[in-house]
Amino acid sequence: MSYNHQTVEPKWQQFWRDQKSFQVANQVEGKENFYLLVEFPYPSGNLHVGHWYAFCVPDIVARFKRMQGYNVLYPMGFDAFGLPAENAAIKRGLDPEKWTYENMDYMRQQIGAMGASFDTSREVVTCDPKYYRWTQWLFLELFKAGLVTQRDTHVNWCPDCKTVLANEQVVDGHCERCDNEVTKKNMKQWNVAITQYADRLIDDLDSLGWPDQIKTSQKNWIGRSEGSEVDFQIGNETVSVFTTRPDTLFGVTYFVLSPEHPLVDQISTDEHRESVVAYRQSVAAKSDLERTELNKDKTGVFTGAYAINPVNGESIPVWIADYVLITYGTGAVMAVPAHDERDHEFAHKYDLEIRAVIQNLENPFAKEGGEICNSDFLDGLDVKAGVEAAIDWLESNDKGRRKRNYKLRDWTVSRQRFWGVPIPIIHCPSCGPVPDPNLPVELPKIDDYLPREDGRSPLAKATDWLHTACPQCGEMGERETDTLDTFVCSSWYFLRYCDPQNDQAFADREKLDAWMPVDLYSGGSEHTTMHVLYSRFWHKALHDLDLVPGVEPYTHRMNRGLIMGPDGNKMSKSKGNVIDPDAVVKELGSDTVRMYLAFIGPYNEVGSYPWSTQGIVGVRRFIDRVWRLREKVAATGDDVAVPLHKAIKKITEDTASLKLNTCVAELMTLGKIFEKTTAIAQSDFEIFLQLLAPYAPHLAEEIWAEFGHKDSITQSAWPVYDESCMVADTVTYAIQVNGKVRGQLEVAADADKDTVLAAAREVENVAKWLSDGEIRKEIFVPGKIAGFVVS
């Protein structure tokens, strides 16, 4: 009878539920804890192939580690607040809460049908007041520590979502969620001081064994550069500039302020005021995208003012130009057209002086006109050494300050949207912003939750909720109406998994000590400069407040690849190339899908793999073959010790390093060997089933039970290989002449060098090649190569 996954799989899923097979205690005597984390999903309403790839393939590792004797935490939950759920609800005219909870119910079923070994008793739902009470509490801890402030901020505004976005949520000038073009606004917003942690976020990466790709992405995003700050006088005002090239100070020929710089009005002369005002208006009207467009012609106007270069007292013109950004450095730059491409382009256009700096040891700051030059130092002095020398010179003349700058901006966390965590702050006319001690501050029920054009959150419509007394002085105040960015919710959810029911604290410290840091965190590469960066920061901030152990939340982070449609393109409804996992599971089974996804490519590398409707059939054929193999099982069978122990070794090592595709290949190879036997010893086949169990758990359980086992195979101990069982009686040597293989030789495994080489000479084809000349050298690689060099 052929294998019927439609009855077998639900049976074992029910068994695991009934037995609470995957509920994990925080401590188990004699077992080491292992925390495996996957990113929890948005409750979008349906699981797609990407979810399967994200949840089921790491599940192989969870099951493997469990059998190896680890106490494994593999939890699941829902990232339930935020724009995706809200926008979907708006589109369908539904209540976001109802929509979200219905979706979660459906997705729980789908996740159950995967057969993944999640500990569902630890489920975390971020829109549940029992959860977001602690999101609010943690937010207030950061507020009290001075890491959260409300202030005027140059923000990214999505006109479609009608809310502020963090820098990380703007992709190439477009909203990360809806892809509309983002505009700039100046608004009073809540900011979290992630920039205070910029250095630690970079430097602590060194201690983590993460892939370089992830580390460098984060470093690029944080964008640290080292240089110095130099003061220029403009009239009575002192304006600092940040420069990475203080060694070019003698080549400064003009000075540029960002159009938004607060001093522009003050320093502009009457003669130039009109053009300055006009220019500032034209810049303000531009979107971020227009302003930063590549190869854009540089523009700017002269203010009429002059600045004094501190190193030589020279008077240089002050311009404003939008290639200088108000959000970086001091919003002002010293322009060195001979040594900076942008300054050069600008100087060329507006006919400003270009002056190169030639540095040598006798006369360090000689000057000379010229075109742009990149190598500025003679006699082997490199730029870095020159910069160091320049900073020394500036400091000895009381002009220099060493300074670091970052591209990273503070994290703007307030959102003008309904479906999020209310910011637990009360604005009091006398006391200012005051934390609300009565947590949770629940999201008010309102009928019209649509976002508004004016930038005010819809929560402002809940007037009863809005007006409340100041917890400090009792005066009537107003609640903050903005909600928190959903990335705040996800910055600590992995902590809550350690202690999900706790109503006294966000998590008990002992339980955090037991589980944290996460041993392996698998997720999508799109979160490298969003969620992963935010949560690292959040964790460090909590650590500084002595709320969590350790400075890093994740020991190892890996980015998974992408499953593409059968045509090689990203799956999308419009392309008609979407694979519905539910349909495939119905046809071929959950074991087949998960094993196929493991087989499709290495999980420890970021790649994109096209789904092959034919390829998955190959995996199903293997499952059917295993099912048929069990009929050959007897008390004793053929000797398969060598391939069996090789397979144990290979699968143990490669599962641990997430090369799951080669493990599936090895299982298939071993399956073929069993097919060639006349009978299979039950003890051998049980080892095979154990190796198979993480990959095809339902099938493995079914046959395991057929053999009379009462306990789940997931509770059995992972097989251990024995090196002595892996030694074959004979080995095959490749025989090379001048590096080319000319023959093969099978000899006893323990044959020594002389024996092998002597026999190798006699191999017919080899002898022919040796007769051409004299043997100059002999090569011997035990067990592999015997070789001769002739000439």
Partner RNA sequence: GCUCGGGUGGUGGAAUUGGUAGACACGAGGGACUUAAAAUCCCUUGCCCUAAACCGGCGUGCGGGUUCGAUUCCCGCCCCGAGCACCA
Q: Is 789 in the site for RNA (CB under 7 A)?
A: yes
Task: Name the segment binding RNA (CB under 7 A); options: 37-45, 231-239, 473-481, 654-662.
Answer: 654-662
Task: Name the segment binding RNA (CB under 7 A); options: 497-505, 510-518, 580-588, 780-788.
Answer: 780-788
Distances in Å between the Cα of 579 and the Cα atoms of 53, 59, 720 are 13, 21, 38
Q: Identify the residue among 44, 183, 196, 217 touching RNA (CB under 7 A).
A: 217
Of 651, 518, 513, whose CA–CA distance to 74 is shortest? 518
Closest to RNA by CB, 497 or 603: 603
CA–CA gap between residue 697 and residue 595 (Å, rounded):
10
Task: Name the segment binding RNA (CB under 7 A); options: 100-108, 370-378, 425-433, 776-784.
Answer: 776-784
CB of 566 within 8 A of CB of 559?
no
CA–CA gap between residue 379 and residue 382 (Å, rounded):
9
Of 482, 384, 472, 484, whose CA–CA distance to 435 is shortest? 472
Residue 773: left (phi > 0), alpha (psi -120 to 50), or beta? Answer: beta
Q: Is 739 in the site for RNA (CB under 7 A)?
A: yes
Strands (DSSP E) found in 342-409: 355-358, 366-369, 400-405
Q: Identify the residue among 266, 669, 683, 755 touching RNA (CB under 7 A).
A: 669
Task: Name the segment binding RNA (CB under 7 A); options: 74-82, 419-427, 458-466, 726-734.
Answer: 726-734
Smallest separation, CB 167 to RNA (Å): 8
Eight-class DSSP state of 528: T
Closest to RNA by CB, 407 or 649: 407
CA–CA gap between residue 689 and residue 681 (Å, rounded):
12
* Sign of the four-CA dihedral 494, 495, 497, 498: positive
Please count the residues of this chain forming the interface with RNA, following the rule CB under 7 A.
90
Q: Is 691 in the site for RNA (CB under 7 A)?
A: no
H or E segment and range at residue 731:
strand 730-737
Q: Identify the residue among 20, 402, 467, 621 touching RNA (CB under 7 A).
A: 621
Of 707, 530, 692, 552, whose CA–CA distance to 625 is shortest? 692
92: CB partners within 8 A, 6+ apart? 99
Q: Which amino acid is at 40?
A: F
CB of 507 within 8 A of CB of 498?
yes
Of 599, 625, 624, 623, whose CA–CA distance to 611 is shortest? 599
CB-count exposure of residue 102 (10 Å: 0-12, 13-18, 19+) = middle
The strand order across the sheet containing 467-469 reads 432-435, 425-428, 476-479, 467-469
Q: Identify the residue among 668, 726, 759, 767 touching RNA (CB under 7 A).
A: 668
Task: Name the segment binding RNA (CB under 7 A); options: 197-205, 220-228, 638-646, 720-728.
Answer: 220-228
CA–CA gap between residue 568 and residue 137 (Å, rounded):
46
Q: Identify the residue among 213, 266, 281, 755 touching RNA (CB under 7 A).
A: 213
Q: Identify the residue among 126, 150, 243, 481 touching RNA (CB under 7 A).
A: 243
Closest to RNA by CB, 459 or 660: 660
* String of DSSP letters for 175-207: ETTT-PBPEEEEEEEEEE-GGGGHHHHHHGGGG
The two tokens of residue 162 are: 């009608």
C-alpha count within 13 angstroms, C-beta hemisphere, residue 387: 15
Q: Which residue do the tokens 């019209």 mark?
A: 448
Q: Is 220 in the site for RNA (CB under 7 A)?
A: yes
Closest to RNA by CB, 241 or 460: 241
Contacts of RNA in 563-592 (CB under 7 A)? none
Closest to RNA by CB, 272 or 298: 298
Strand-pair category, 680-681 with 730-737: unpaired
Q: Is 411 in the site for RNA (CB under 7 A)?
A: no
424: CB partners within 8 A, 6+ apart? 136, 139, 140, 435, 436, 439, 440, 441, 480
Q: Is 599 in the site for RNA (CB under 7 A)?
A: yes
Eight-class DSSP state of 162: T
Smallest separation, CB 248 to RNA (Å): 8
CA–CA gap between residue 331 and residue 58 (Å, rounded):
47
Q: Is 208 in the site for RNA (CB under 7 A)?
A: no
Neighbours of 111 (CB within 10 A): 20
Q: Is 262 in the site for RNA (CB under 7 A)?
A: no
Smallest separation, CB 92 to RNA (Å): 30
SS3 655: helix
Q: Identify the residue among 11, 98, 575, 672 touching RNA (CB under 7 A).
A: 672
Smallest separation, CB 779 to RNA (Å): 5
Q: Is 615 in the site for RNA (CB under 7 A)?
A: yes
Smallest separation, CB 209 to RNA (Å): 14
Closest to RNA by CB, 68 or 217: 217
Q: Identify the residue among 602, 726, 761, 767 touching RNA (CB under 7 A).
A: 602
Q: Identify the residue among 22, 190, 242, 674 touching RNA (CB under 7 A).
A: 242
Contacts of RNA in 347-406 (CB under 7 A)? 405
CB of 174 within 8 A of CB of 181?
yes
The two tokens of residue 49 are: 């192939």
Closest to RNA by CB, 467 or 777: 777
Smallest separation, CB 598 to RNA (Å): 11
Neighbours of 558 (CB within 10 A): 19
Q: Is 509 in the site for RNA (CB under 7 A)?
A: no
Closest to RNA by CB, 340 or 499: 340
Q: Is 675 in the site for RNA (CB under 7 A)?
A: yes
Closest to RNA by CB, 645 or 659: 659
Q: Which residue do the tokens 């926008």 mark?
A: 87
Closest to RNA by CB, 20 or 784: 784
Q: Which residues of 646-680 are buried (b: 16+ CB within 10 A; e: fewer)?
A: bbbbbbbebbeebbbbbbbebbbebbebbeeeeeb
Closest to RNA by CB, 25 or 171: 171
Q: Is 258 in the site for RNA (CB under 7 A)?
A: yes
Contacts of RNA in 90-149 (CB under 7 A)? none
Q: Is 677 in the site for RNA (CB under 7 A)?
A: no
Task: Name the segment binding RNA (CB under 7 A); options: 102-110, 395-403, 755-763, 781-789.
Answer: 781-789
Smallest separation, CB 400 to RNA (Å): 13
Smallest separation, CB 734 to RNA (Å): 3
Strand partners, 414: 484
Q: Identify the residue among 742, 756, 760, 763 touching RNA (CB under 7 A).
A: 742
CA 475 to chain CA centroid, Å, is 45
Smallest separation, CB 319 to RNA (Å): 13
Contacts of RNA in 308-347 (CB under 7 A)? 322-325, 327-331, 333-334, 336, 340, 342
Smallest separation, CB 265 to RNA (Å): 19
Closest to RNA by CB, 139 or 232: 232
Q: Identify the residue among 150, 303, 486, 529 touching RNA (CB under 7 A).
A: 529
Closest to RNA by CB, 57 or 619: 619
Smallest separation, CB 95 to RNA (Å): 34
Q: Is 734 in the site for RNA (CB under 7 A)?
A: yes
Strand partners, 193: none
SS3 288: helix
Q: Identify the residue among 223, 429, 432, 437 touching RNA (CB under 7 A).
A: 223
676: CB partners within 8 A, 6+ apart? none
The two tokens of residue 350 are: 């507006």
Contacts of RNA in 143-182 (CB under 7 A)? 171
Smallest separation, CB 716 to RNA (Å): 25
